[in-house]
Amino acid sequence: MRTHKDLEIWQRSMNLVEKIYTITQSFPQVEIYGLISQIRRAAVSIPSNIAEGAARQTNKEFIQFLYIALGSLSETETLLMIAERLGYIKDETIMNDIEIIRRQLLNFLKYRKEQQKTSK
């Protein structure tokens, strides 16, 4: 791995952030300090934690940051489900994006854990 930017999971999560910013632009103005802020913050946390983990010295630290990214992904999903229930979201493909990223994160975590076992 050269940098975090070479990871497909980081690239996909960056695309998700862009999509979320676009979608939340159409939310009611009353949500600017509520759902909009929370969804954007949680989404930005996903690629940010992947990048921070990749920059760490040890595989153990990287795994820890991947778990944080996974938590942020679940938070983003929950907030989007709330927005959907409130009728703010009409684009259902974003949930497919989240599911793809979740599978990739879980597979990458499994891979990194296996690397950690073999390096002992």
Domains located in the chain, CATH noted: 4-118 (1.20.1440.60)
| Banded pLDDT at 120 (limits 50, 70, 90) | low
Would you call 103 exposed, middle or buried from its count of C-beta atoms within 10 A (0-12, 13-18, 19+)? exposed
Please tell me the distance from the alpha carbon of residue 37 to that of residue 31, in angstroms, as a whole number.
Answer: 8
Within 8 A by CB and 6+ apart from 108, the residues are 7, 9, 66
Q: How far apart are the first and last CA of the chain?
A: 20
Q: What is the pLDDT of residues 44-101, one digit of tens each?
A: 999 999 999 999 989 999 999 999 999 999 999 999 999 999 999 987 789 999 999 9
**110 pLDDT more than 60:** yes
The answer to whether 9 touches 104, Cβ cutoff 8 Å, is yes
